[in-house]
């Protein structure tokens, strides 16, 4: 299975999922899939990586060790980011009524496969 097929599988199996992507910590997206044409994770890659890097700094400041996951809820969407190895992360954006629990589960399930691919 390639990246896009895996991301497509995640998006199609989670209610309210808008898009998913695999992004490097440098902000460059490896691949993405979105169910809405106006949602472009590639363009937002840099912002996602900034959020991850801030989260890492926060964890370090409080002595909490390695960051595994970041969950952000905003006025318009919920975003889940999970680390894949040390330098990449997979992200899933959900609408406000999206199934967050399922989204987290699907992302967690995808990590071993993504690690093999990277």
Partner 1 sequence: MADAFKAEIEDLKKKLSQNPDSLTFVPLAEAYRKSGMYKEAVDVCKAGLEKHPAYTSARVVLGRLYLEQELYDEAAEELKKVEVVDHDNIMVHSMLGNIYVKKQMFAQAVEQFQRVLSLNPEDMETQDKLQEALSAKQTVPSESKKEEKIAPPPPAAKEEKPAMTDLQKSLKVAELYSKKEEFDKAIEVYRELLEKDAENIIIQQRLREVYDLQQKKINKQKEQSEKRKSAESDKITAEDILDVMKEAVENDLVDEEKTEPPAKKEEPKKEAKKEEPKKEEVKKEEPKKEEPRKEEPKKEEPKKEEPKKEEVKKEEPKKEEAKKETVEKAPEISDNKKIEIGNVLQSLSTVDGIVGSLFLLRDGQLVASVLPTTINKSEIGGIVASIVDKTEQSVKNMKQGKLNQVVIASEHGQLLFTELGKGVLFIIGDENINVGKMGLVLKQVKEKMKQLM
H/E run at residue 12: helix 3-13
Instruction: Give min distance, CB of 72 to partner 1, in A.
Output: 5
Q: Phi, psi (5° rounding) for residue 81?
A: -130, 130
Looking only at residues 41 through 100 of this chain, which bind partner 1 when binding is defined by CB under 8 A?
44, 47-48, 50-51, 54-55, 57-59, 61-77, 79
Distance CA 19, CA 117 (A): 20
Please compute Rg for the chain using Cα positions. Answer: 13
- The interface mask with partner 1, positions 22-51, x = CB under 8 A, is ----------------------x--xx-xx
**Which spans of this chain sit near partner 1 (rule: CB under 8 A)?**
44, 47-48, 50-51, 54-55, 57-59, 61-77, 79
């Amino acid at each position: 299975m390639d990246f896009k097929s895996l991301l497509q599988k995640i998006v199609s199996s989670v209610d309210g999922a808008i898009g998913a992507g695999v992004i490097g910590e440098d902000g460059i997206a490896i691949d993405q899939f979105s169910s809405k044409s106006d949602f472009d994770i590639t363009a937002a890659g840099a912002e996602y990586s900034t959020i991850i890097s801030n989260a890492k700094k926060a964890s370090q400041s409080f002595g909490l060790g390695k960051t595994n996951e970041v969950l952000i809820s905003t006025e318009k969407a919920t975003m889940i980011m999970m680390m894949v190895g040390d330098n990449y992360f997979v992200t899933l954006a959900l609408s406000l009524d999206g199934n967050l629990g399922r989204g987290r589960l699907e992302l967690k399930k995808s990590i071993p496969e993504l690690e093999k691919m990277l």
